[in-house]
Amino acid sequence: MTDGNRGISNEFLMPSERELMYYLLRYGEYDLVFDENLLYGNEQKETVTVFQYVAAQLEEDSLVFANDIYRKMFGLYAAESAAVNRDGGDAAQIQERIQRAFINNQDENVSREALELIVQKYNITIEEFNKALTPEDNILGRLIPKAVVMYKARIVDWEYNKTSSALGEAQHTGADFDRQMELMQYLQNLMKLIKILVEEVSIF
């Protein structure tokens, strides 16, 4: 199966989008309890699920997944989450029903990708052994915000690479000076944003 058939058109953003869908399919209905170090002395006032947090973060910056398969899966997850929550049950039960709906989805690409993510196993190196001793669901308050920030950073990096190439092309073809200055200013703004995101990632 080719990446095109799988709905992968942006290989650069694919790892981050896949990681976010992994967390949604495994823990989307679990409450997200933020690490105390990330609250800056404030108490967590509202209960928010992993899915609600990720959805709000993407909406805040008007972001949508670039790859068709993950964009479709995100939309399906939103619909399934709303539907199964009306049935009640604890987080684990709700999550299991959502997983079952994805695995049984009529779209073969969706069901296959979901199954791979749900049963995903990692080859653990010695370096990663200590991290593996802590169950993921115990540290979601650190993992999920970091995954979201990393996704945003990857998008900005992707935009920076595109703009840098556009500037190089503009200089090579002798494009309008104002256009070149516009691209240079945009690159500077992207660099500032990258710096901010890198600082945020360093917190986790």
Confidence of residue 122 (pLDDT cuts 50, 70, 90): very low
User: What is the distance between the alpha carbons of residues 58 and 39, in angstroms, rounded to a whole number?
Assistant: 20
In this prediction, residue 35 carries a pLDDT of 67
Residues 6+ apart with CB under 8 A from 117: 18, 21, 22, 25, 26
User: What is the distance between the alpha carbons of residues 38 and 13, in angstroms, rounded to a whole number?
Assistant: 26
Kindly tell me if the per-residue pLDDT of 166 is higher than 70: yes
Residues 6+ apart with CB under 8 A from 95: 26, 27, 28, 29, 30
pTM over 0.85: no
